[in-house]
């Protein structure tokens, strides 16, 4: 055991100085501080909450009925491998965040013919499943595609500027996270 420790210490003695991460060095250069550098880590729950808060802030500042659904958007996006801003941005583009929703369908999903949702949460789940490729009937349009490609199939075939409009809204939502 001691031989192995000795071998490891001999090998580590030859690790080049430049192999030490620069972040670790930058905080100690010119300092006599001997305390170890610690990373500030954020938990998954905290990151989820920050995203949900950004979504809710965006909705609240604009008096949008989808206010309060931020965490649902975040969890559904995680579940189906979507960008966390995608579904709220579609809801904003399609119905001003629920102001012009077809019942509980703030996305215009199914050309508003699908308005039999009993809650916004149910509609968010349904759209997430479809855009995430989880519905075999729509997977050929959405599964494995980039966000921009998903938006093209969602409404870009009818309105060519649609993908860029939704992507711009996604950027605005993220600025509320700062």
Q: Is residue 83 part of a domain?
A: yes
Contact between residue 127 and residue 90 where contact means Cβ atoms under 8 Å apart: yes
Note whether residue 111 is domain-resident.
yes
CA distance 113 to 147: 24
CB atoms within 10 A of CB 104: 18
Give the total number of structural domains in the chain: 1
Q: Under a CB-based contact definition with an 8 Å cutoff, are residues 73 and 124 in contact?
A: yes
**pTM for the structure as a whole:** 0.76
Alpha-helix runs per DSSP H in the chain: 2-12, 22-26, 44-61, 70-80, 86-95, 120-131, 139-142, 147-151, 162-175
Residue pair 146/132 in contact (Cβ under 8 Å)? The answer is: no
Q: How would you write the pLDDT of the chain (178 residues) with one tens digit per residue?
A: 445 444 444 444 444 444 444 444 455 455 566 666 666 688 999 999 999 999 999 999 999 999 999 999 999 999 999 999 999 999 999 999 999 999 999 999 888 776 689 999 999 999 999 999 999 999 999 999 999 999 999 998 899 999 999 999 999 999 866 6
Q: What is the CATH number of the domain that holds 77?
A: 1.10.530.10
5 occurs within a structural domain: no
User: Is there a domain that residue 2 lies in?
Assistant: no
Tell whether 22 is covered by a domain: no
Q: Is residue 26 part of a domain?
A: no
Residue 167 lies in a domain: yes
């Amino acid at each position: 055991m001691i031989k192995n420790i000795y071998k490891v210490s001999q090998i580590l003695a030859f690790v080049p100085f430049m192999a030490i991460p620069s972040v670790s060095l930058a905080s100690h250069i010119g300092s006599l501080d001997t305390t170890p550098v610690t990373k500030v880590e954020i938990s998954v729950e905290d990151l989820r909450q920050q995203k949900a808060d950004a979504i809710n802030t965006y909705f609240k500042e604009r008096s949008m009925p989808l206010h309060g659904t931020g965490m649902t958007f975040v969890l559904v996006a995680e579940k189906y491998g979507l960008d966390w801003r995608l579904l709220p941005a579609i809801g904003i583009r399609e119905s001003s965040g629920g102001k012009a929703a077809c019942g509980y369908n703030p996305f215009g999903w199914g050309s508003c013919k699908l308005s039999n949702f009993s809650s916004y949460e149910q509609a968010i789940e349904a759209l997430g499943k479809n855009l995430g490729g989880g519905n075999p009937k729509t997977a050929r349009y959405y599964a494995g595609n980039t966000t921009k490609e998903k938006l093209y199939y969602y409404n870009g075939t009818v309105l060519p500027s649609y993908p860029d409009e939704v992507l711009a809204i996604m950027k605005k939502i993220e600025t509320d996270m700062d």
